Structure 1
């Protein structure tokens, strides 16, 4: 991006609304979210179809053309047509643990996920989500499990993830939730896309670089 591109508008993310999709289980790691063999891609485009790939199919292998053969689909929620248009993922404890691969939230976003509600998240995973503008909001286990059960029974329920007020609301139920303070500030103020912000302020970046003793322009 050049200085001639003009200012970049990074949207504030205060609220996310939409249908939910429950993925149950503690310690779901990034290798389950996106298996390592899919990390060889040059861009993140198309990763969405491979989210939870090895949990969604019993038999999978290369198709000889750089793709994957998927057979015998399981009952994983990402295969359930009831949740095909869902954009709020509801998970349990320590979601996104394991490696630091940014491909995991990239795959979820490209599948259609705009926000994640859970009991807890791995720190690096939550940071990678923030870089994409995906809120990771936490609540206690009973509230999360009740939301998962409700979504299972009523998949068309609209969930409101209120980042600013730190609440999750659905069908008359309000959950007192929590958002990391730094994440909350970045999302609500529209400061989460650091790459865009740097590109929109080339003069400040150049001045800072010039002031550092270990850089040369």
Structure 2
């Protein structure tokens, strides 16, 4: 199973409130059969309308940490929104608050949603804008976020934090880790025993 304990990398800031899932990934990109290639369309409409949008800025292209505002990921429940951010390169989103379904969808794919105060988000945004190469160090065990000489503390429900740091979020990993027990159960069940070696 894949544990998410530390995230280190540059950041990107879109410090606005009520960014909904339709802005994160417009509806026309939901017709995909797989999520492959969806990352390049993150914030597509916003980027077309505003050429100076941070997701258009090559200086932020290696960002792993997204900083945003209140009620991030509101709107529809589409799982494509966190998928597009993850496939763009984002590994954690630090915001003032999250829509509940978006938060859960992040945990389900191993993207860490962390809550922080507005003053801390503003401080983080300013540091990122001053130095796009600034390395941010996010410790999921302590929820400390270090950047330069600064440190802030985030918030995450204990159940979500535990799921990430222990790897319990990774359902496929859990399934594969339990393959011997699953195969044994298949052999023990009379209606499956003839198919165990197929």
TM over 0.5: yes
Distance 2:161 2:183 in 1: 25
1:182-209, Cα deviation, whole Å (9 max, x unpaired): 11101111111123313432546996xx
1:111 maps to what in 2? 88
2:2–2:173 contact (8 Å) kept in structure 1: no
* Residue aligning to 1:84: 61
Deviation, 1:16, is 0.4
Q: Name the count of aligned residue pairs.
A: 189
Does the C-alpha gap of structure 1 residues 198 and 180 become closer, same or farther in structure 2, counting only changes over 3 Å? Answer: same
Number of the residue aligned with 2:155:
178
Query: Are positions 1:189 and 2:166 aligned together?
Result: yes
Q: Which string of whole-angstrom CA distances, capped at 9 and with x for unpartnered residues, describes residues 107-134 of structure 1?
A: 0011011111111111111111111111
Match of 1:40, SS state, is coil
Structure 1 residues 131-190: Cα deviation after superposition (integer angstroms, max 9, x where no partner) = 111111111000001101110111111101111001111111110211221111011111
**Residue 18 of structure 1 pairs with residue 9 of structure 2:** yes
Contact in 2 for aligned 1:198/1:205 (Cα 8 Å): no
Using the size of structure 2 for normalisation, the TM-score is 0.89
| Structure that is richer in helix per residue | 2
Deviant stretches of 4+, over 3 Å: 202-207
Q: Is the 8 A contact 1:92 1:141 kept in 2?
A: yes
> Which runs of 5 or more residues in structure 2 are unaligned?
193-198
Tell me which of 102, 111, 118 is aligned to 1:125.
Answer: 102
Distance verdict in 2 for CA 1:36–1:171, change over 3 Å: same
Q: For the aligned residues, what is the CA RMSD?
A: 2.0
Q: Partner of 2:43 in structure 1?
A: 52
Q: Secondary structure at the match of 1:108?
A: helix
Q: Which residue is 2:140 aligned to?
A: 163
Whether contact under 8 Å (2:24, 2:81) holds in the other structure is: yes
Deviation readout 1:35-71 (Å, 9 max, x if unpaired): 011000000000011100000003xxxxxxxxxxxxx
| 1:57–1:180 CA distance, 2 compared to 1 (3 A) | same
Which secondary structure state, in structure 2, belongs to the residue aligned with residue 137 of structure 1? strand
> Is the contact between residue 167 and residue 178 of structure 1 (CA under 8 Å) also seen in structure 2?
no
Structure 2: distance between partners of 1:86 and 1:12: 20
